[in-house]
Amino acid sequence: MVTKDTLQKVLKTATHTQMAELCITNAHILDVYNKEWFEADLLVSEGHICGFAPAGKGQAMKIVDAQRRYLLPGFIDSHVHIESSHATVQEFSNLVVPCGTTTVIADPHEICNVLGLEGLDYMLDASEHTALQAFFMVPSCVPATEFEHSGAVIKAEDLKESLKKERVLGLGEMMDYPGVIGASDLVIDKIMAAKNAGKIIDGHSPSLVDEQLDAYSSCRIKTDHECETAEELRQRIRRGMYVMLREGSACNNVLMLLGGVTKENSRRCLFCTDDRQPMSILEQGHINNNVALAVKGGMDPIEAICMATINSCDCYHLEDRGAIAPGLRADFLLADDLVNFSMHQVYIGGRLVAEDAKMLKPDIPQKDQRVERSMQVKDFSQKRLELRLKSNHVRVIEIIPGGVVTKAAEARVTLVDDLWVPDPNQDIVKLAVVERHHRTGNVALALLKGYGLKQGAIATSVAHDSHNLIVCGDNDEDMKLAIEHLIEMGGGMVLVKEKTILASFAQPVAGLMSYKSGHEIASAMESLHQIAQEQLSVSKEVDPFMTLCFMSLPVIPAYKLTDMGLFDVQSFSFVPLEIQ
């Protein structure tokens, strides 16, 4: 909130009756409103842009020569699950700010599925003093469906107080699209809670078309990040929605959607990452990577930058940022080029916070006991992993490389005394989901094709969206050891072979995040990936953990496994493993 004193100082600087605190000179400045470049000196005081001076004429206590670099508004990630970085909010800030991301709209869906709205409070508290400006959406689907057990159930009545909070912009992605289309009381009550609070609603509507999309968008659900084709993008924009072009670690949609973005509709297009791991951020970047991909794909740089800045502000009513204009926050970047969009300097609130890919004063993660109590497993034993079948003709979850959508496949498998046993000639392993929140004792089993794993097991406590424990393997001994080690660590990732733990990585923050640095997390993940591929033969076409953790998400087609059984997303119902 701008105070009277701040406003008066900004006005005096704007009229050149008071010297600016900071002047950026010798830069190409982007005007996102007229979509053109201009030459001037930028004047900054009190964390705000005060105005301009003729090029080379600006006066300030500190003058920075941009050396003909490009001065851009700070980039905005319009939809991200910070928890998917495996890092705390503070360390996530350290990762993305040097890439030019100054603001994120985060959906704490993952941690709220473990801890309920206490998870949102933790994220708000943890981001209170970070360089990164973090806004949040209240998760709409905890649990994502009624067909799984998450750590909490958030109802419409529970949302009302959270929706009043200053940095809460609205209701998070509405994944229960069947509930929306079917006018479910529980779902509509949540939508009405957001509407009554004057807040917006994020969407999640994979493959919806025609009258179903009409029904979904009629609730004025404002965004969607699940488009896979240019036609889907156009259909949503036609219905008044904003479309996010996503570039995560597992889901890469920027290039495939560029054909649908035109000069006429680009103002309704945004960039997001959704789920992005430290390794991807450190190697390729963050939102600057989305922008670079779009430009290399043929998009005009100004249009791409607008999709990373002012368009998101228009969508989310962030009226104090997104452009280089008087009175706005001084969140801006000095980019070296308009091809790779590498950042020379990043300013947030008028303060230089990152330079040449490094934070000048890194944000420090703080431990919090609220988030370190998330392993409540009952009656787990190796026997619970035995897969007994009535028929060898079975339904199989088949991985489609490059995304999180799976194929509803069938197979003939080998049975010994009615128990499934692995066939070395089939790329099929056992998949298990173990409930970890309420001590229900639930253990569900299925079969997974296309993962490649041999002679071992892989397990993680990051399993979208309810984040129960998920493990796959070709023998029960290794699968059991992997689950037991996860419980002992308080969550994380583990690789097992021949009754030996090859490697593990602890994630004690709700079983989702680590207190370690982004570089340490990236190094650990790289090592785990290498071991998974080299010693456990996991296919190089899939990300060992990112792929596995989406195998329990019952809102993305086709087959997925929850702690309650094999789920057919197309029919939105459980199906037996056996095909009679």
Tens digits of per-residue pLDDT, 375-429?
A: 999 999 999 999 999 999 999 999 998 778 899 999 999 999 999 999 989 999 9
Cα torsion for 405, 408, 414, 416, to the nearest 10°? 90
pLDDT in tens, the chain (580 residues): 789 999 999 999 999 999 999 999 999 999 999 999 999 999 999 999 999 999 999 999 999 999 999 999 999 999 999 999 999 999 999 999 999 999 999 999 999 999 999 999 999 999 999 999 999 999 999 988 889 999 999 999 999 999 999 999 999 999 888 899 999 999 999 999 999 999 999 999 988 999 999 999 999 999 999 999 999 999 999 999 999 999 998 789 999 999 999 999 999 999 999 999 999 999 999 999 999 999 999 999 999 999 999 999 999 999 999 999 999 999 999 999 999 999 999 999 999 999 999 999 999 999 998 898 779 999 999 999 999 999 999 999 999 987 788 999 999 999 999 999 999 899 999 999 999 999 999 999 999 999 999 999 999 999 988 999 999 999 999 999 999 999 999 999 999 999 999 999 999 999 999 999 999 999 999 999 999 999 999 999 888 998 999 999 988 889 999 999 999 998 989 999 999 8
Write the CB contacts of 15 (distance below 8 Å, at least 6 apart in sequence).
none
Give every CB contact of residue 456 below 8 A, 6+ residues apart in sequence.
473, 474, 475, 478, 495, 496, 497, 498, 502, 535, 536
Give the chain's domains with CATH numbers.
4-68 (2.30.40.10), 77-316 (3.20.20.140), 372-574 (no CATH)
Q: What are phi and psi of 212, to 5 degrees?
A: -70, -40
**Cβ–Cβ contacts within 10 Å for residue 393, how many?**
14
What number of other Cβ atoms are within 10 A of residue 273's Cβ?
Answer: 30
Q: 88: how many CB neighbours lie within 10 A of its CB?
A: 31
Taking the C-alpha atoms of residue 514 and residue 521, their distance in angstroms, rounded to an integer, is 8
Mutual angle of helices 210-217 and 230-238, in 10-degree steps = 50
For β-strands 133-138 and 20-31, DSSP reports them as unpaired
Q: Is the peptide bond before 363 cis (omega within 30 degrees of 0)?
A: no
CB 368 within 8 A of CB 122: yes
CB-hemisphere CA count at 13 Å for 393? 2
DSSP conformational letter for 313 = H
Amino acid in position 41: D
Angle ∠(103,106,112) on CA atoms, nearest 5: 155
* CA diameter of the chain: 89
